[in-house]
Structure 1
Amino acid sequence: MIHILNRLTVKKVDFSTIRFIKNLENNAIRSIRFKKWVLLLLRIGIITALVLMIARPVTKGFMPGWISAELESRLLLVIDNSSSMSGKINSLSLLESSKKAAMLIPQIFSKNTTVNIIQTCPPRTLFSGKINDPSIPLIINQIHPTVKYDNLWTVVDSLTSIINAPEPIKECIIFSDFQNNIVPNRPLLDSWKFYLINPGEINNNLSINNLEVVSRIKVPDQLLKLKTSIKNSGNKKITNTPIDLLFEENRVGQVISEFEEGSNKEFIFQAYPEKKGVLAGSIRLPNDDYLNDNIWFITAPILDKINCLMIGGADEEISMFRLLIDAIDPEMQLINFESRKQPIINRLFIDDFDLLIIHNPEAFTEAAFDELDIFLQRGGGLIWFSGGMEIDPTYNKYFSNIGFPKAKGMIESGSGIFSVNIPSKDNHLLSDLNVRKLENELPECYRYVKHNYSNKHNVHFQLNNGDPLLLEFNRGSGNIFYFTSLM
């Protein structure tokens, strides 16, 4: 028992030499491990340095600096000189800023680089040669702004495909404000690397989107109504902006308005034409950072009187239209009205007329269709009331050539009537009619010709079953109002 207890209390003590040897062993192991980590980090650092030195983003096939100093390369320098590049930032146009930056490009590339300098509007190669040519700054400086538009990506894609560049390094630098989508519709060539440089965005810009004459009747003693749309395409709010309407350089209307960033507003002006003949008018905005969209010109013919011819198949039809014209212009100051009873229309003889009304013809010759087409192409107006002749397949090609909707068949109401729906849009043909209840003034019909029409036909009035009653379409410069029913 005593022996066992003594065994439990025995302590093992190493000699000092053994402790020294173990301590040396531990120190040596720690030193070796530390050196291994240092060596591993050095290897990783060397590999990383080599990768960073050799790598060049968005460029494939060569190494920069001294490694690629002897390699030949091709540079395509594209400068956008379209209308939008005339916008200014700090009194300097986007084109001028781009040209200044482009003149510094030759300092970056080696002497083994061949450069092609391109303008986009119109597309033209201005220079092709070595990049150290001293005439390059002069050539770039000769690129002038235009008031035209371009298709940037079509130009770039065509040039990169046409240019036969044998060099292993091919790069394209584009200076543009990129009014079109920054990503082209079709992929560009993989063998070229592209750099897109935007000189900046203009801050203060109002632009006129459109200007149109709304009035159907254009005579000296009638108010002429014009509609315009203006957008704030800058990036700040614009206040107290005058918008002027001018006839023959004389201001005849003005509104003051403000525009939030990105907002679009429509304005309607009314003014009396000064004289008959061709009226030249314009909408003008004050100067801003982009001047090319501040003026919109328009011309409109102002007639002394409207020469109107009505062709009907019966005396009752002619009398009805004469009563209508007398109600519109009782003193005959606006309309010179003539009529013909002509059920079968062989010839028209309408060179001296501005407006032609055709009501329920029984037949129409090819010669008459040719005269009608010429009349419309030259800007004449036509009002056609369909009575059923249009259904005859004999006339399909003639009506189709002019652009008429395709007649399908006659629809009868039986014991009821077809009423006309009130147009849902605000600015319809009868919006200026001063009546208390418009629905009481709309016509009713007992039969009509059903038609197939397209998006080229503007439907003004529909029947209560959804079929059109009045359509409008164009032929050349002429305007056509087509009723699918008789008066």
Structure 2
Amino acid sequence: MMFLAPTMLWGLIAALIPVIIHLYSLRHTKEIEFSSLRFIRELEYETIRRLKIRQWLLVILRMLIIISLIMMLARPVIKGFIPSWIASEKESRVVVLLDNSASMTMKVDGTSLLKTAKSLVLDIADIYDESTSFYCYQTNPLKQIYKGNPRDQSLKTSLEKINYHSSEDHLFLKVDSVLYEQDDFEPNKECFIISDFSKQIYKDMIDFSPMSSFLSDTEETGWRFYLIGQKELSNNLSLRGINILSQIRLPNSLLKIETEVINDGNKEKRNIPVELYINNDRLGQVVASFNKYQSKEFIYQAYPGLSGNIQGHLEIPDDDFVLDNYLSFDFTVPEQINCTVIGSSSEETFLLETALSAIDNQTGFLNIDIKLDAEPNRLLLGYTDVLILYNPGRLQPSVIEDIQMFLNDGGGVIWFSGDRTISHKDNFAIDALRLPRVKEIKALSGEAFFSVSVAQDDHPILYDLKLRHIDSELPQIYKYIDIIPPKKYIPVLKMNNGNPFLLEIPAMGGTFFYFTSLMNLNWNDFPVKGLAVSLLHRILLYLATDENNLKPVLAGEIKTVDIEDKELNSEWVVRTPSGMDFQLVPDYHTKQLKISHTEELGSYSIFKDLKPYTSFSTRLSEFEYPSQRLKKDKVLNIFSHNRVRWIPPQNDLKNHLKDVRHGSSLWRGFLICAILFFLIETILGRSKSKY
């Protein structure tokens, strides 16, 4: 406790006056004449001792009255956050950071946190006088929205222009940046942070080093922080992520879509519809109930019905946080696959060509380009979706470079190893393309063979394969290439001796499917099995489904879309979820479109020469969900000094801040005490006068 008028404490000497008067009165006895002993007998009802005790009680009460009044005049206060040596608000610099990220759109009692936060900024400004240096910033994107007099009406106008932004807030990085740029010469520096304080703070502290010392500065003249928290969420269901389980996609094949719904609030939710839409047609609905903080997963099955780029979304009814009630997604069903086959002769590739022709069946779905060249000098793969290398020998360095570029662009390769792989062993290609190392040809004599079995039932090219008896359709192997698999590979089919027949190898952004035996009746009976056409078809679909352009990005991030050389001079337009169109200019160096207008949540459509080209969706950062908040103690522990105060949500922020900054005034308490002591003294005094 401290006193704003300490000189008044000299008045406590006056508390001795009742004692002095009482002692003085005892030395001067008043004589009263009476003719009877009647008055002395009345003392039998009250002893002399009790009279003395009552007299001293009255003296003490009168002393307490004087002490209480003097303490009240000395203006006692509990020690505040601001040092007592700060002369006035003229020596103060105030910085307010207002979090306008997506999570601040959450509603409490029908009002969004962002709207409430704007009113809190005005309350903060109202406790300072016109001479204070006052700054206000929004966090997303970081921008100074006001500088000047805290009592100026233009501050309110500036606050009204702030809207929410769906991108990540990176709150403490913004605080660090603002304070680092401040030219702070004032002895008192105060920073107000109005936010819901997401867990991203911890991640940013690990990933970045602060430029300023606001977290660790222990000097008395360092920044003082007021962390203004927000109310808890009570009514919210959240759509969390979406996963298209079906990797092989056809218009007439069931598409499996998985999602998760979480109840972030503290209320039970009953009979909530979770609806699936594809191209704005509702194709599925689940009605479910959720207990407090419960999560549930759902899997939908639907027929796309179309080929090309397809847009879909999931939605649930609106609640207190609407941004997680709608989740869009994009996928593609291939319309045509461009396939390039490299072989040494037509006789060698005949069975492979026959299987590919059976897949196409003159529909134009499969565009096959066959190049018969045992040792090509270059591969022009600009229009190729899938490259098939049949029994390749030694590859030219230029060809290896072409394959690497093809893989880096997300291309897919089917590789059939054969005798040329051994006779023209190419260790340089093996290392450059991260292929298996070949050892030798293994062949069985007579009618002996190796049987083949499934290595991974849930692999996308085998999952939900419509064959009644897949075991009877698996090939018998007479001859194969013995290999040493690379470090990273996925076995798909294996022989009964443990060696692989087909494996998947991720490489440089693309994918290899590597067969250790040729499509040749001298090597196996795979060409005459019903599985051959189905398996090749699914591998082609798997490799030709380019998800790079369809991958979602976080709201506010730059989205890149790969395009081909011939498309660079086309007219490009991106359409936002709200229907706004923006012209795009390709990057001729990287052969990409770069889309920066991704602030909205939802699905974006890209048009080439006014025709649909591709699409992608934006996602809410995981740290913007209401459940990703830090508790009070976690936030305070981030600071290594004690110049920080947590301000809980409340209606009267203005007066609360005054008490926190300058301390709580206690004069009213001492005035009440003085009045109580006076009433008690009056009651005892009347009792005394009666006798």
Q: TM-score by structure 2 length?
A: 0.53
**Aligned CA distance change for structure 1 residues 396 and 330 (closer, same or farther; 3 Å):** closer
Give how far 1:278 is off. Answer: 2.5
Match of 2:114 in 1: 95
Is 1:357 paired with 2:391? no
Percent sequence identity over aligned pairs: 31
d(CA) in 2 for partners of 1:355, 1:242: 41
d(CA) in 2 for partners of 1:481, 1:201: 50
Cα root mean square deviation, aligned: 4.2
Is 1:448 paired with 2:483? yes
**Residue 78 of structure 1 is aligned with which of 72, 97, 104?**
97
Write the deviation string for residues 73-122 of structure 1: whole angstroms up to 9, x where unpaired.
Answer: 11110001111111212221110111111211112234442121010000
**Residue 395 of structure 1 is aligned with which of 429, 448, 457?**
429
Give how far 1:200 is off. Answer: 2.0
Match of 1:12 in 2: none
Residue pairs, 1:168-187, within 5 angstroms: 168-181=187-200, 185=205
Match of 2:504 in 1: 471
Residue pairs, 1:224-303, within 5 angstroms: 224-303=255-334
Q: Do the aligned residues in 2 keep the contact of 1:412 with 1:448 (CA within 8 Å)?
A: no
**Residue 196 of structure 1 is aligned with which of 227, 237, 249?**
227
Give how far 1:418 is off. Answer: 10
Give secondary structure in 1 for the equivalent of 2:486: strand
Match of 1:149 in 2: 168
Write the deviation string for residues 175-204 of structure 1: whole angstroms up to 9, x where unpaired.
Answer: 111222566726725222222212223323
Aligned residue identity for 2:84: M
Give how far 1:385 is off. Answer: 4.2
d(CA) in 1 for partners of 2:273, 2:507: 35
d(CA) in 1 for partners of 2:344, 2:294: 54
Give how far 1:317 is off. Answer: 5.6
**Aligned CA distance change for structure 1 residues 215 and 318 (closer, same or farther; 3 Å):** farther
**Residue 410 of structure 1 is aligned with which of 430, 439, 442?**
439
Residue pairs, 1:123-162, within 5 angstroms: 123-162=142-181
Q: Do the aligned residues in 2 keep the contact of 1:391 with 1:408 (CA within 8 Å)?
A: no
Q: Do the aligned residues in 2 keep the contact of 1:97 with 1:199 (CA within 8 Å)?
A: no
Match of 2:462 in 1: 430
Give how far 1:284 is off. Answer: 2.3
d(CA) in 2 for partners of 1:259, 1:342: 63
Q: Do the aligned residues in 2 keep the contact of 1:207 with 1:230 (CA within 8 Å)?
A: yes
Give how far 1:159 is off. Answer: 1.2
d(CA) in 1 for partners of 2:416, 2:276: 38
d(CA) in 1 for partners of 2:115, 2:499: 58
**Aligned CA distance change for structure 1 residues 466 and 194 (closer, same or farther; 3 Å):** farther
Residue pairs, 1:367-406, within 5 angstroms: 367-373=398-404, 375-376=406-407, 380-385=411-416, 392-395=426-429, 398-399=432-433, 405=434
Match of 1:402 in 2: none
d(CA) in 1 for partners of 2:296, 2:516: 38
Q: Do the aligned residues in 1 keep the contact of 2:501 with 2:517 (CA within 8 Å)?
A: no
Q: Do the aligned residues in 2 keep the contact of 1:209 with 1:228 (CA within 8 Å)?
A: yes
Give secondary structure in 1 for the equivalent of 2:339: strand
Q: TM-score by structure 1 length?
A: 0.72
Q: Do the aligned residues in 2 keep the contact of 1:386 with 1:449 (CA within 8 Å)?
A: no
**Aligned CA distance change for structure 1 residues 99 and 336 (closer, same or farther; 3 Å):** same
Is 1:55 paired with 2:76? no
**Aligned CA distance change for structure 1 residues 226 and 467 (closer, same or farther; 3 Å):** same
d(CA) in 1 for partners of 2:179, 2:417: 57
Match of 2:184 in 1: 165
**Aligned CA distance change for structure 1 residues 460 and 274 (closer, same or farther; 3 Å):** same
Aligned residue identity for 1:249: N
Q: Do the aligned residues in 1 keep the contact of 2:89 with 2:132 (CA within 8 Å)?
A: no
Size of the alignment, in residue pairs?
Answer: 428
The runs of 5 or more residues in structure 1 that have no matched partner are 1-30, 400-404
d(CA) in 2 for partners of 1:360, 1:429: 23
Larger proportion of strand: 1
Give how far 1:145 is off. Answer: 1.2
The runs of 5 or more residues in structure 2 that have no matched partner are 1-55, 519-691
Aligned residue identity for 2:288: S
d(CA) in 2 for partners of 1:122, 1:83: 12
Range moving further from structure 2, 93-102 or 177-186: 177-186
Match of 2:511 in 1: 480
Larger proportion of helix: 2
Aligned residue identity for 1:473: P
d(CA) in 2 for partners of 1:150, 1:222: 41
Q: Do the aligned residues in 2 keep the contact of 1:246 with 1:252 (CA within 8 Å)?
A: yes
Aligned residue identity for 1:105: I
Give how far 1:143 is off. Answer: 1.2
Match of 1:5 in 2: none
Give secondary structure in 2 for the equivalent of 1:104: helix
Identify which of structures 1 and 2 has the higher relative contact order when contacts are C-alpha pairs closer than 8 Å and 6+ apart. Answer: 2
